[in-house]
Amino acid sequence: MTFSELNLIEPLLQALQEEGYTSPTPIQEQAIPPVLNGDDILGCAQTGTGKTAAFSLPLLQRLHEAGPSHPAKAIRALILTPTRELALQIGDSIKAYGRYTNIKHTVVFGGVGQVPQVEQIRRGVDILVATPGRLLDLMNQGLLSLKYIETFILDEADRMLDMGFIHDVRKVIAQIPANRQTLLFSATMPQEIQKLSASILREPVYVEVTPVSSTAEKIAQKVFFVEKTYKRALLKHLLKGDDIERALVFSRTKHGADRIAKELSKAGISAQSIHGDKAQSTRVKALTQFKNNELKALVATDIAARGIDVDDLTHVINVDLPNEPETYVHRIGRTGRAGAEGMALSFCDDTELPYLRDIERLTKQTIPVEEEQPYHAEYSKLPLGGGKATDKINRSGGGGQNRGPRNAGQGGGGNRRPNQRPAGSQSKDNSPAGSSNNRNSSRNRGRR
């Protein structure tokens, strides 16, 4: 299928062509027609599936075809998103796709001065992209009104829940006209999100692609068993090699992200960290440098990484494994996007073995262990088929004690040993995102 077959107007098709997009992703194929038709949408989709275009393209078309706003300068569409980075990314996409339309937009978020944002709103915008905190702040000051909203889009609803924003989201919804089109997207559907969707959607079209457990299938993965004290040394060793062009590096804590970036810089590896305590201008500058290939490594915490969309990102490196397996899938989904190849490397110390077990259970994959690396520690891994993360973890090779770094000349990407067990399921699939797992239920209204 091509974008023209989705009945998109010529100004959008021209912009898509200039952006290099030729074929829609599964979520775009499913969502664009009903959104153009004015239907509500309940979308279950991960990052990297193309959902931003799935809602922004038909939104731009509907606003463009409707003509000027009434009254003048009224905000006609609201896109609510959990993080600053994701809000900025959506704003960039709307700017790119809508360059040949007369639709105006702006992005509002906290952490920066509100004056430029307010001035833009006063000049008139059709689409407002916002984070909940800053939006409510501006509303409480009487600086913007949502009473003319025609379309409301709630993106990454489950992350809103995780970050404690659901109460704020409900406050915003209370200020929007009941007679509107509503699109709700979420990577997962916990009970609270199901309740929210039932209360704000009217006979929604349900679309779903790439369940979270299968997102990892198209990304090559390796796990490195390493004592905690050697993790940063292993990271420097890998980044000094020629195999990695750019890497998004994940740390569990803000302090850890800063420390990693500092050590990488001292080692001559260009790196910056981003997390919630960084000023927004600093975060934007670091992300821009990373996108422009001025940094080899961007070290991030999970919240700061939401919304990061970098073309041709070759590697994601988990210095710390997350304690939630779904978070692992979201992390590694930053690479291997839009059918491209990607590699996810994860460091695992003995305390993180339960997390690794949970990840393998969720993804239904056995992640191969890379032993040919200079800091390998001998741990036995729980089998994929049985046991839980709370089961006793057994070590081998002298109690799992790291016998010290191997000769660094061995490198980090050698061949696997003959006695290593193979990956349990295919870890790399170059098919388009979600195509093999697409449950095409766009005609199934109001049901999951």
Model pLDDT for residues 326-384, shown as the tens digit of each residue: 788 888 888 876 556 789 999 999 999 999 999 998 888 899 999 999 999 988 665 54
Q: How far apart are the first and last CA of the chain?
A: 26
Q: Domain check: are 262 and 153 in the same one? A: no
Residue 220 and residue 171 share a domain = no
In a domain, 447, yes or no: no
The answer to whether residues 38 and 66 belong to one domain is yes
The pLDDT score that the predictor gives to residue 94 is 97
Looking at the structure, do residues 131 and 152 belong to the same domain, yes or no?
yes
Asked if residue 444 has pLDDT above 50, the reply is: no
Q: What is the CATH number of the domain that holds 227?
A: 3.40.50.300
Residue-level pLDDT at 181: 98
Same domain, 197 and 253: no
The string over 46-81, giving b where at least 16 C-beta atoms fall within 10 Å of a residue's C-beta and e elsewhere, is bbbbbbbbbbbbbbbbbbbeeeebeeeebbbbbbbb
Residues 238 and 194 in one domain: no
* 188 & 43 share domain: yes
Coil, helix or strand at residue 200: helix
Tell which residue, 101, 10, 17, 21, has the closest CA to residue 54.
21
Give pLDDT, residue 87. 93
Do 222 and 314 share a domain, yes or no? yes
* One domain for residues 318 and 354: yes
% of the chain residues with pLDDT over 70: 80
Task: Say which residue, 175 or 407, is predicted with more confidence.
Answer: 175
Q: Would the pLDDT of 228 be above 60?
A: yes
Which one of 210, 229, 254 terminates a domain? 210
The whole-angstrom separation of Cα 427 and Cα 415 is 16
Q: pLDDT at residue 131 above 70?
A: yes
Do residues 81 and 87 touch, judged by C-beta distance below 8 A?
yes
- Mean pLDDT calculated for residue range 430-440: 36
Contacts of 119 (CB under 8 A, 6+ apart): none
- The reported pLDDT for the residue numbered 214 is 61
Tokens found for residue 17: 């062509």
The last residue of one of the domains, among 158, 182, 210, is 210
Print the domain residue range for 19: 3-210
- Over residues 275-295, the pLDDT tens digits come to 878 887 888 889 889 988 999
Helix (H, G, I), strand (E, B) or coil at 315: strand
For residue 324, pLDDT beyond 70 = yes
Taking 90 as the threshold, does the pLDDT of residue 147 lie above it? Answer: yes
> Taking 60 as the threshold, does the pLDDT of residue 60 lie above it?
yes
Instruction: State residue 291's pLDDT score.
Output: 87
* 29 and 174 in a common domain: yes
Question: For 82-126, what is each residue's pLDDT tens digit?
Answer: 988 889 999 999 999 999 999 999 999 998 899 999 999 999 999
pLDDT top residue among 71 and 444: 71
Predicted confidence at residue 287, as pLDDT, reads 87
The stretch 417-422 carries a mean pLDDT of 32
Q: How confident is the model at residue 406 (pLDDT cuts 50, 70, 90)?
A: very low
Kindly indicate the confidence band of residue 136, based on its pLDDT and cuts at 50, 70 and 90: very high
pLDDT of residue 306: 62
Q: What total of structural domains would you count in the chain?
A: 2
Residue 403 above 90 pLDDT? no
How far apart, in Å, are the Cα atoms of 424 and each of 217, 356, 375?
11, 14, 25
| Mean of per-residue pLDDT scores for the chain | 82
33 and 156 share one domain: yes
pLDDT at 46: 74
Pick the last residue of a domain from 183, 210, 237: 210
- Asked if residue 225 and residue 195 are part of one domain, the reply reads no
